[in-house]
Structure 1
Amino acid sequence: MRLPGRLAAAIEVLTDVETRKRPVSEALKAWGINNRFAGAGDRAAIGNLVYDALRRRASHAFVMGSDTPRALVLAVAMRDWGDSADALNAAFADDSHAPEAIDELADNDIATAPDWVRADVPEWLAPSLERAFGADWIAEGEAMTGRPSLDLRANALKASPEKVMRSLARFSPQPTAIAPFGLTMPAGPRDARTPNVTTDEGYLKGWFEVQDQGSQIVSAIAGAREGEQVLDLCAGAGGKTLALAATMGNSGQIFAYDADRNRLAPIYDRLKRNGVRNAQVRAPNPGALDDLAGKMDRVVIDAPCTGTGTWRRRPDTKWKLTPELLAQRQGEQAELLKEGLRYLKPGGTLVYITCSILPEENDDQIVALKAAHPELTTLNMAQAWRSALITDLPQGLATPEGGLCLTPRRTNTDGFYIHLLRNGER
């Protein structure tokens, strides 16, 4: 397929997303099934166009004077991919699969747009983001519109980063800037394809996992130590459980639990492939964790959240987020924090993690928890960073209440929040 046909296909997919309210990944898969003539390169290019359109939906719509799928996709071609309107119209004239010409669309100056449009965030979230980042909030929003890198974590139980790099040499991975076992492959421009590393021999043998560097960093700062008893209360598919097991050198015990049985299902195969022997999966049955009450050295709560830190990867969720959903997540987080304390022994550490950049889900939750439980004290996060990552904490990551917030702009990672709390004196 040539560019005009790819643009038309992206408009079709984006129309499907918006009219049927379906996830982008589902719409792209359906288009591929219905158009089997399209090669892998075509599908990658169409996916890039759709995701790029959604990452900068507000600013694209403002510049083009329209928020239709056609306007958004054409905006990507001109604003992100560097094609001129004249060049596109010339290409369209010679291609029967091309979209309509773009002459009638506006070309507004983005400098005159409202702040929330320049930041490419929902208007109702602007006050929250300004509270989180102060004068930098627009720049933080803009940084959320870029394409994410593909990051890997070398599994220390089976392989070194150097061994993984040799296995994936054809993709030219490089060490991550912060995470000590991380490797990264930056996203390419335009129609660049993301490497399919999950078919590599090293992945099948458990040498590495796909994990954003930010997730690797907070997993390390969680501070799990050899020989500890650790509860991963929201284990999900097990990404952080695997990282914790490697940090602990397969010693001690990790209890992996999740209230959603479907989210937990993939963890069994992943634990086996990664060679993890110190993790015990607890299915969500009544009383599944009763025997752990008051016994855990460390309780890790990777709480369900709005996912605002993953907007680069899932930009459709940015525009679906509502105040009601945020309030629902806040309620769930508060309950999980309360539940997590039940399993923590005196002197133990509560680890609170979200993939959110909103203070309502981060510092605000900690303030409320500490008000109800004055025995909790915030640990020194600079010290925790230094101990886990063997570097000094970069400036600007600390939050007002003593947590840490990673973002694409600050750390070139997804957005993550982490806070460590000691349960009384050790």
Structure 2
Amino acid sequence: MTPAARLAASIDIIGSILERAAAADRVLADWQKHNRYAGSKDRRAIADQVYAVLRDQGMRRWRLEAAGAAVTPRLLVMADAATPLMEWQRLCDGGKYAPPVLDDAEAATLARLPSDEDAPLWARGNLPAAVLPLAEAAFGSDTDMELAALNGRAPLDLRVNLLKATREHLLEQLRGEEIAAAPTPFSPLGIRVPEKVRLEMNMLYRDGLIEPQDEAAQLAGLLVDARPGMTVVDLCAGAGGKTLLLAAAMRNQGELHAIDNDPRRLARLPVRLARAGVRNTTVHQADDLPRFLQEMEGRADRVLLDVPCTGSGTWRRNPEARWRYDPASLDEVLRRQAGLLDDGARLVKPGGVLVYATCSVLPVENGDQIDRFLGHHGEFTELPLSEVWGNTITVQRIQSGTRLSLTPYRHGTDGFFAVALRRAG
């Protein structure tokens, strides 16, 4: 493909991401599926350009708004301060595979883009202005550094399936395949590998010895402290990443129940369970929730609530998602989280533990929710992280206290929050 053809493809993909409100990796995969003529170098160059735009979207939007122009996919791609107008005019030559020629209005907009020196923090941090106060409440004096880290590239973390292997053995095997694998700094189950590893082609993954899972999610799963013989409920199981972790921690002994209200995500779980060698897990459909809550009331040793949230902690993996923030939607998410906390509390038996977790960095979804819950459920108290993890994880290297708050800048992980709540015996 010519540079002009790559540019045209990038504009089309950005347009699809904005119009469909779809994940960037899914749109890119769809484009590659329907344009198999594109070689590997072309696919990589187009993906790099798309993600460069998405990670610089705040600045590009600000430049266009300051220039008095509407934000269009074409202008969003071209509002790059490092590329002169003449280069865009050269590439947009109206050829068969090139973008259409720039019109006078577009050329005038690109010619008067403002200096980046005047850009506000929301633009530099690549997030909507409405989200900035929430980010500042979460990060305080570290806001600039955290936003920069949240806008960076995430590493690829893997979780070792202890039902089939040990971390030491898998590190040796990966290094034998000339993959620069290293232990994650905090999770005893994690391995960090280069982002470009094609995991779906690796036999260790295909045989169920490893699963992709960010280190923060692993730590939250370990906070459940699931043990063999327990009755454990994963009430918001999704596609089952933490369900698999819990099953391995239980050594396939005891009862593990997984349920979620998204049948499409839950449909992937049986295949993942089989690949991982899990035998103690029952998957329940969302329609079963009322009956399930009634039958399991007061029976669970552990309940994990990895609740639906804004996903703000994963924005470095999904840079396009931050521009879909909607205050009205957040209100609905908060109501749903509160309801799930009340449902989860019903399931916990006296002396049992409820773990609340989000992949969010926003206080309203995290500590504020726990404060509300404890105000209505005096039978629950927060557990110190050191008491839950014991010698498994060196808590002092992460943080002390009762509430786990992980961030990209401080910990090199996704943003994540988790807290363990014990019900009085």
Question: Given the two structures, how large is their TM-score scaled by the length of structure 1?
Answer: 0.87
Aligned to 1:405: 405
Q: Report if the CA contact (8 A) 1:308-1:355 is conserved.
A: yes
2:381 counterpart of 1:377 = yes
Alpha-carbon shift at residue 55 of structure 1 (Å): 2.5
Distance 1:122 1:414, change over 3 A: same
Counterpart of 2:60 in structure 1: which amino acid?
Answer: H
Secondary structure at the aligned position of 2:335 is classed as helix
Aligned to 1:185: 193
Q: Which of 228, 247, 254 is equivalent to 1:252?
A: 254
Distance 1:390 1:250, change over 3 A: farther
Distance 1:158 1:112, change over 3 A: same
The CA RMSD over aligned residues, in Å, is 2.8
Q: Report if the CA contact (8 A) 1:58-1:121 is conserved.
A: yes
* Range with greater deviation from structure 2 (1-10 or 257-266): 1-10
Aligned to 1:313: 317
Supply the distance in 1 between the matched residues of 2:148 and 2:131 (Cα, whole angstroms). 14
Distance 1:175 1:124, change over 3 A: same
Counterpart of 1:302 in structure 2: which amino acid?
Answer: D
2:173 counterpart of 1:171 = no
Distance 1:379 1:150, change over 3 A: same
Secondary structure at the aligned position of 1:297 is classed as strand
2:151 counterpart of 1:149 = no
Aligned to 2:167: 161
Deviations 1:18-53 (A, max 9, x none): 345444344324433442211233223322322331
What is the correspondence of 1:300-379 to structure 2 with a 5 Å cutoff? 300-379=304-383
Distance 1:145 1:98, change over 3 A: farther
Supply the distance in 2 between the matched residues of 1:2 and 1:177 (Cα, whole angstroms). 43
* Range with greater deviation from structure 2 (61-70 or 337-346): 61-70
Alpha-carbon shift at residue 94 of structure 1 (Å): 10
Aligned to 1:127: 133
Q: Report if the CA contact (8 A) 1:130-1:137 is conserved.
A: yes
Alpha-carbon shift at residue 364 of structure 1 (Å): 0.9
Secondary structure at the aligned position of 1:294 is classed as coil
Distance 1:87 1:403, change over 3 A: farther
2:297 counterpart of 1:293 = yes
Task: Give the number of aligned pairs.
Answer: 410
Aligned to 1:197: 199
Aligned to 1:55: 55
Q: Report if the CA contact (8 A) 1:165-1:174 is conserved.
A: yes
Gap runs ≥5 in structure 1: 188-193
Secondary structure at the aligned position of 1:370 is classed as helix
Alpha-carbon shift at residue 422 of structure 1 (Å): 1.1
Aligned to 1:12: 12
Supply the distance in 2 between the matched residues of 1:404 and 1:383 (Cα, whole angstroms). 13
Gap runs ≥5 in structure 2: none
Deviations 1:70-97 (A, max 9, x none): 3433456x66xxxx64995698499955
Q: Report if the CA contact (8 A) 1:221-1:388 is conserved.
A: no
Alpha-carbon shift at residue 245 of structure 1 (Å): 1.6
Supply the distance in 1 between the matched residues of 2:22 and 2:138 (Cα, whole angstroms). 30
Q: Report if the CA contact (8 A) 2:79-2:113 is conserved.
A: no
Alpha-carbon shift at residue 233 of structure 1 (Å): 0.7
Alpha-carbon shift at residue 164 of structure 1 (Å): 2.6
Question: Given the two structures, how large is their TM-score scaled by the length of structure 2?
Answer: 0.87
Aligned to 1:40: 40
Secondary structure at the aligned position of 2:418 is classed as strand
Q: Report if the CA contact (8 A) 1:16-1:27 is conserved.
A: yes
Aligned to 2:418: 418
Q: Report if the CA contact (8 A) 1:233-1:300 is conserved.
A: yes
